Amino acid sequence: MNKNKLAFNTFLFASPFTDASLPLLAKMREFGANGVEFALENKGDLDYAKTLAALKENNLECSSICGAFGPGRDLRGTPEEQKGSALYIKDCIDAAVALGAGVVVGPFYSRVGRAGAEKKEDKAAQWKLVTGHLRELCKYAADKGVYLGVEPLNRFETDFINTTADAVRLCHDVGHEHLMVHMDVFHANIEERNLPLAVVEAGKLLLHIHAADNYRGAPGTGSLDWLGLRDALRFIGYERYVVLETFTPDVEIIAKAAAIWRDFEESNMILAQKGMRFLKTIFA
């Protein structure tokens, strides 16, 4: 029976997550994590040597790097936004190499919050633009032994990639083995007709999982079908990380686009404890 390692996304604890935040790794380990997914908001936020030492000290590993696609990072935007996003994705790949992770995830294709009706011809042109950029970025990632996981977002956060099927089609059109699918079950719970079936349809392309409940709070406190998700992951032989990812209103780069207007628990530490405790009973 396949089991999964568990990690926290650092957005739950601090934004930006910097060298000054590294003492928080001890809490993550105390709460039961095996790894840490660093949300890299900007190059230079972390000293990688210090971060590696802190991970080792707390018996943790870097599970992955999570991209933060705010203003100025849009592979289908203006030429300046395209350039800025491509350079930033390379920074994330470099961070993954430096921290010993082989995975970078996120909605690489667009800035978060860009959502509106697009003409079919405009959408087709944007699709061609994004696939071209991703082919080049996959070459860069492959040279460094890193895989990219493209993340569908719900319809309120993007109009470009909403479903697992969209992400699978993007992977096929890019045509590079280092581009795979990253499923965030909060988004999938909104957009997929059947969450476990979406996992099965992703199959071996599924690279990474983000976990939050249906209202984006701690896993196990809402109505998401966790047992169905677990069984689907076991069916396809998924043995990679499951990462607890949610936010607080203090995470300004994400909070507005993701409509995080309230705290889901009395504190982020309570949310972290509750969520990780539940994930361990299901997946570990």
CB atoms within 10 A of CB 117: 7
Count of all residues that appear for the chain in the document: 284
Side-chain-side CA neighbours of 275 within 13 Å: the count stands at 32
What is the C-alpha to C-alpha distance for residues 220 and 225, in angstroms, rounded to an integer?
9
Please list the helix, strand and coil fractions of the chain in percent, rounded to the nearest 5, in that order: 45, 15, 40
Q: Assign 238 to helix, strand or coil.
A: coil
The residues annotated with a catalytic role in the active site are: 151, 245
If you search the block for the tokens 């979406």, which residue do you land on? 198
| SS3 (DSSP) at 36 | strand
CA-nearest of 70, 145, 101 to 7 is 101
Q: Of all helices (H) and strands (E), which one includes residue 201?
A: helix 195-202
CA gap 269, 24 in Å, rounded: 10
Omega before residue 16 within 30° of 0, cis: yes
Cα–Cα distance between 268 and 134 in angstroms, integer? 35
Residues 6+ apart with CB under 8 A from 96: 62, 64, 65, 102, 103, 104, 144, 146
User: In what helix (H) or strand (E) does residue 65 lie, and over which residues does it extend?
Assistant: strand 61-67
Beta bridge partners of 8: 36, 244
